Chain A
Amino acid sequence: MPGISTASLPDIVFMLLFFFMVTTVMRETDLKIKKPRLPKADQVKKLERKSLVSYIYVGKSKDGSPGDKLQLNDRVSDIKDIKSFIFAERATHSEAEIPLLTTSIKADVDAYVGTITDIKIELRDINALKINYSTLKGSALDNMKR
């Protein structure tokens, strides 16, 4: 019996590859808001245990409308959605882990402190007290020169 020709094995692999490339969705982290440019700071700590971190993105919307837009993990949302978002995140973790959950705020350099304060008030109301302002490592004095 003639041996099976293996010349087309790579083709099969490529088909599989293209199939996955087309069907899997990479995490859409910037749908309608522009990717926030993070400010710089030197008092930074690395976030340990990424599985315990929820992300809130704050930035300008892509269509140029005024005011900051929020994005929670992957959906564009509003301030009032924060509480349900955090509760949903808490539901996916065990009781012991809940006090260790951190919320990372990734906000654009030009975001307004008013928006950030509203977010913090919502988080404080539901006792999600551990927060982290996402920043690049660098000198904080650079933020003011812009």
Chain B
Amino acid sequence: MARRDTPEINAGSMADIAFLLLIFFLVTTTMDIDTGISRKLPEKQDPNIKPPVLKEKNVFEVNVNRRNEILVEGEHYMQIKDLRKEAMKFIDNGGGTAESLQAEGITPCTWCEGSKDPASSDHPKKAIISLQSDRGTSYATYISVQNELVGAYTDLRNRYANQKYGRDFDDLTNDQQELIKKDIYPQIISEAEPTK
């Protein structure tokens, strides 16, 4: 019997199948949001080790109560939009004199553009931001405060990076970033146990 040509498979509906599968996966998979504020928790502390003694002027206290009100340095009620500027003023103050900093082996801050108020921080390496919230504070407020505090450091680092290297902080090499993170504007945000 003469061999007939095998009939070709009609591929017209392959496109339909492909579209169906595509739509199926489009509808069922979720695009997970993967951005966020990265933090590193402090290591668990030995309860027997005493915390170091800090000068009150080197600590920028931020308190948030359960009504989501922000109190800065125990005295000023602050709006969230002003928090970043205030934090930057504190970190960038550089009010320490050579003698007072000599004990810790650092020289006065030459890159600080703050007002060198002696009642505010001595040097960015000694400037600590302390954050205490309440257990009833809303997470939205907490994130906003964290964002503004981290933003203060980012803005200062960017300003320094642009002045010194002409680029943003994120565009620098790893070594340059490490230098800024360790010696120029180290990020020291300490979170206290929230009030009940």
Q: A residues bordering B, Cβ < 8 Å?
A: 3, 6-7, 9-10, 13-14, 17, 21, 26-27, 29, 38-39, 41-47, 50, 53, 58, 102, 104, 106-114, 116-117, 120, 123-125, 127-137, 140-141, 143-144, 146
Which single member of A13, A45, A108 contacts B35 (CB below 8 Å)?
A: A45
6 A-B residue pairings within 8 Å (CB atoms):
A9-B9, A27-B30, A50-B32, A132-B39, A143-B140, A144-B80
B174 to chain A, nearest CB (A): 15
A residues within 8 A CB of B147? 41-43, 135, 140
B41 lies within 8 A of A39 (CB): no
Per the bound structure, the CA–CA distance linking A40 and B44 in Å amounts to 29
Contacting pair A140 B139 (CB below 8 A): no
Q: Between A and B, how many residue pairs show CB distances below 8 Å?
A: 159
In B132-176, the 8 Å CB interface with A consists of 133-144, 146-148, 150-151, 154
- Residue in chain A with minimal CB distance to B133: A113
Interface pair B42/A124, CB less than 8 Å apart: yes
Measured in the bound complex, the distance between the Cα atoms of B139 and A135 in whole Å is: 11
Interface residues on chain B, size class: 35 or more
Contact A44 B35 (CB under 8 A): yes
B→A interface (CB under 8 Å): 4, 6-7, 9-10, 13, 16-17, 20-21, 24, 28-30, 32-44, 64, 68, 80-81, 133-144, 146-148, 150-151, 154, 193-194
Contact A10 B17 (CB under 8 A): yes
List B contacts of A134 (CB < 8 A). 33-36
**Which chain B residue lies CB-closest to A133?**
B37
Please determine whether B139 and A127 come into contact, CB atoms closer than 8 angstroms.
no
In the complex the two chains form, is B37's CB within 8 Å of A38's CB?
no
In Å, the complex CA distance between A127 and B13 comes to: 55
List, in ascending order, chain A residues with CB within 8 A of B29's CB: 26
Given A117-B193, A123-B41, verify A39-B136 contact (CB < 8 Å).
no
Which one of B21, B36, B148 contacts A104 once the chains associate, using CB atoms below 8 Å? B36
